[in-house]
Structure 1
Amino acid sequence: METCIGFKNWVLHILKSLLPQTTHLTTPTTTNKESQTEVVLKMEQIEHKMVAVNGINMHVAELGKGPTVLLIHGFPELWYTWRHQILYLASHGYRAIAPDLRGYGDTTGAPISDPAKFTTLHVVGDLVALIDAVAGPGENNKVFVVAHDWGAVMAWALCLYRPDKVKALVALSVPFSPRNPKYKPLDALQHLYGKDYYITRFQEPGEIEGEFAVWGTERVLSNFFNFRKPEALCLPKGIGFGTSPDDPITLPSWISKEDLAYYTSKFEKTGFTGGLNYYRALNINWELTAPWTGAQIKVPVKFIVGDLDLTYHTMGAKDYIQKGGFKKDVPLLEDVVILQGVAHFLHEEKPDEINQHIHHFIQHFSVEP
């Protein structure tokens, strides 16, 4: 299987680099100070397989035995964004399942030329089929869900459309966003932030992809990973993140060159269009979800966000989270955690803290009746 061979070759490459100096690989970090060679060997134990779901072939990474935890990534991410959580959950008696969402990584079959095929209904359809495939049919095939960024958007939709599939949710970065029947989301965002706002810039098919091609995949990814300003992200045409193609590529402390190389290899293969289509389907989602206007999320939830996360500083987000609106829409919201000095990719930046938050929450629901 190509995806298995590709990942194993990458692992072997890392192991070779570790032989003369075992400090090269900086991820995944661990709380028990085990050697990085041991960590990479554990990564090699992750099983990679393809699962036919909802008309596409979904690549899934899996490790561990026990209650299933479905890990849903965002943009620009892959299953690999959960590498820390996969190892931790598997070592604590859980079965960690991390797919590449439609349009990403080694998942194939989604028509990336058509953003209308990337709505919440499509992606939730993929996830429900995946849950049925990995947890089995019947009334007891609920799973825990941990999700970040666009993964969180899809997790909220999963809880809204099919709460019977979810035991509990840990949502990272993106809170629930109730449908406003008066305004289409893209219209509202452009009105608030202007034409240079990144979501607005992502709308025209091919335009931002062309700029990304000029900047280079590795630089685009590093710019996203490095962004930690508590403000709206704007990407003016021809200027982008404001860095020069000649500037050296820098990395945040929580990601290694090998990590970036893995992400880069996958996005160079697929391009960014699949991930950008989620943004391009925003107004379509609004049109399709009118029946759920005013509906509440009825599963137990824990929400975690960094205080430097751009999503936390979206207009109205703080008040919604802190002044009762969030709890009204999500009545089973049990905990809200604001991590100080932490930006958007919190599960990679602070994996030990996030792992403990996840485990502490889901273990209360892990005992079967």
Structure 2
Amino acid sequence: MASWALPEAITQSYVNVDGLNVHILGAGSPADPLILLLHGFPELSYSWRKTILPLAAAGYHVVAPDMRGYGRTCTQPVAYDDNLAPFRPIAIVRDIVALVAALRVSTVHAIVGHDMGSLVAGNCALLRPDLFKRVVCISVPFTGAPRYTVPPDHHNTPRGIIRPPPLLPLISRALGALDPPRKHYTVYFSSPSADADMRNAPGGLHGFMRAYYHVKSADGPANEAHELDVEKPIEAIAAALPEYYVMRAERDMPGSVLPHAPSLAAVAENRWLPEDELAVYVDEYARTGFQGGLNGYRCATDPSGAWSADLLAFSGKTVEVPAMFLAGKKDWGTWQFPGAVKLMESEFAKMEGRFILVDGAGHWVQQEQAEAVVKHLLGFFKET
């Protein structure tokens, strides 16, 4: 495997986690309070390369794993037909709990998750507040466990409770009826073709990943992100969101982002993800493919809700530990689901107004504005 060219103070090692050999980046003394950093898609533990050492220098033991199905934790490509059970939300929480046990600590000072890692971090804090003492969700609002509801005519259900239909299938039907028809990117990511589409993108994997990171960053041309009115019709919401979130029905993800790829001059000027750093992602995803990460989307978008059904045991439970939300000001991920931020604020009992949008950043905020992210994290740790 190619070298990640990290500073010597950042260690790379493997930890056996309940039979899974997890690759981790680490810094700081194991005697110090533990901070866990969970990456999103399509990222790696490497996404935290700019934040690990500053947090360690502030007196913390910092660990960033490659999640199940990603990077060097993934020894061979995951296939679409593989068993989804290890990727269901509660199983990923179990991975993290087992990692903490393997690190021989009794509590985690803070769990910090970006993108899909935000949902994992939120679930960890929801399910095990005794273990995870603080939670930071970055870029994707955490909206809590699925809930049972009592229908108006409860006599039609034997137990008087039903699960509301999942949100994404409803959105997908409405988007499909638009002219021209559209589809939500998470539904596309759940399709059998998504992995091969991206691995075999026209012009190569490097060009696709450069374009994908570009369009979702503060450098992207369509990222004047703002709150969307939940009362507006789906047509207005779809028109406001960029195509990498609400895709044309006939297009794949490469077809949605490659027309907006940065110029050679813009690539040369990029300081938050220069070519040698992008090459780490390209090398790893060329080896593993994307399916290990895409399986998380499949569990979330399954119309039956079966892969998230375990979490119904926590219906109505809120997150009781101190919480913060952090995102780039130009990140549409915060606002893509109207009403999600308000729902998150109701699910975090101790959020206390800690909703922070960082200037000069899009979706990859911990890479685009690492100093600001570290500042806000340390401020949150001190405050709580």
Which TM-score applies when normalising by structure 2?
A: 0.77
1:98 and 2:64 correspond:
yes
**1:203 maps to 2:190:** yes
Rate the CA distance shift 1:234–1:326 in 2: closer, same or farther, 3 A: closer
* Alignment map for 1:205-284 (pairs within 5 Å): 205=192, 207-212=193-198, 213-215=200-202, 216-228=204-216, 229=223, 230=225, 231-232=241-242, 233-236=245-248, 237=251, 240-243=255-258, 251=267, 252-282=270-300, 283=302, 284=306
Matched, 1:125 2:125: no
1:224/1:192 CA distance change after superposition, 3 Å: farther
The range that moved more, 243-252 or 303-312, is 243-252
Structure-2 separation of matches of 1:344 and 1:189? 22
How far apart, in 1, do the equivalents of 2:51 and 2:166 lie? 35
Task: Give, in angstroms, the shift of residue 70 of structure 1.
Answer: 0.3
Identity of aligned residues (%): 28
Give the Cα separation in 1 of the matches to 2:379 and 2:261: 45
> 1:303-333 CA deviation, whole Å, 9 max, x = no partner?
112232122221324xx43x5x433211111
Q: Secondary structure at the match of 1:301?
A: strand
Q: By how many angstroms is 1:107 displaced?
A: 0.2
What is the distance in 2 between the residues matched to 1:246 and 1:141? 43
Structure 1 residue 116 corresponds to structure 2 residue 128: no
Q: 1:342 to 1:247 in 2, by over 3 A?
A: closer
Secondary structure of the structure 1 residue equivalent to 2:321: coil
**Counterpart of 1:267 in 2: which secondary structure?**
helix
Q: Are the aligned partners of 1:171 and 1:303 in contact in 2 as well (CA < 8 Å)?
A: yes
Q: Cα distance 1:99–1:184, how it changes in 2: closer, same or farther (>3 A)? A: same
In structure 2, what is the equivalent of residue 165 of structure 1?
A: 131
Unaligned runs of 5+ in 1: 12-39
**C-alpha separation between the residues in 2 aligned to 1:151 and 1:313?**
17
Q: Please give the alpha-carbon distance, in whole angstroms, between the structure 1 residues aligned to 2:333 and 2:273.
A: 21
**Residue of structure 1 in register with 2:118 after alignment:** 152
One of 366, 375, 380 as aligned partner of 1:356: 375
Structure 1 residues 300 and 200, CA gap change in structure 2 (3 angstroms): same
Corresponding position of 1:69: 35
Say if 1:54 and 1:125, in contact at 8 Å, map to a contact too: no
- Scaled by the length of structure 1, the TM-score of the pair is 0.80
Aligned match for 1:51, one of 15, 39, 60: 15
Structure with the bigger percentage of helix: 1
The Cα of 1:93 is off from its aligned counterpart by 1.2
Say if 1:132 and 1:141, in contact at 8 Å, map to a contact too.
no
Tell whether the 8 Å contact from 1:135 to 1:141 is kept in structure 2 after alignment. Answer: no
- What is the rounded CA distance, in whole Å, between the counterparts of 1:344 and 1:220 in structure 2? 17
Alignment length, in residue pairs?
Answer: 321
Specify whether residues 192 and 147 from structure 1 end up closer, same or farther in structure 2 by C-alpha distance, changes over 3 A only: farther
Structure 1 residue 188, shift from structure 2 partner: 3.0
> 1:170-206 CA distances to partner (integer Å, 9 max, x unpaired)?
211112213253122431341354453211111222x
Name the residue aligned to 1:25. Answer: none
2:172 — aligned with what? 190
3-state SS of paired residue (2:183) = coil
Counterpart Cα distance in 2 of 1:294 and 1:49: 39
Please state whether the residue corresponding to 1:164 is helix, strand or coil.
Answer: coil
> Which residue in 2 is equivalent to 1:20?
none
Aligned residue type for 1:208: A
d(CA) in 1 for partners of 2:332 and 2:262? 24
Q: Matches of 2:360 and 2:55 in 1, distance apart?
A: 25
The yes-or-no answer on 1:305 pairing with 2:324 is: no
Checking the alignment, whether the CA contact within 8 Å between 1:55 and 1:109 is kept in structure 2 is no
Post-superposition Cα deviations, 1:321-351, rounded to whole Å, max 9, x if no partner, equal 3x5x433211111311122453111111111
1:108–1:210 distance in 2 versus 1, CA, 3 Å = closer
- Work out the CA distance in 2 between the residues paired with 1:156 and 1:91: 26
1:141 is paired with a residue whose SS is: coil
1:218 is displaced (CA, Å) by: 1.4
Q: Cα offset for 1:132?
A: 1.1
Structure 2 unaligned spans of 5+: 148-162, 177-181, 217-222, 226-240
- CA change 1:351–1:196 in 2 (3 A) is same
User: Post-superposition shift, 1:53?
Assistant: 1.0
Aligned twin of 1:14: none
Between 1 and 2, higher relative CO (CA 8 Å, sep ≥ 6) is seen in: 2
Residue identity matched to 1:234:
V
Deviation at 1:359, TM superposition (A): 0.8
Displacement of 1:99: 0.2
Task: Give the equivalent residue in structure 1 for 2:312.
Answer: 290
Paired with 1:307 and 1:247, the residues of 2 have a C-alpha distance of: 20
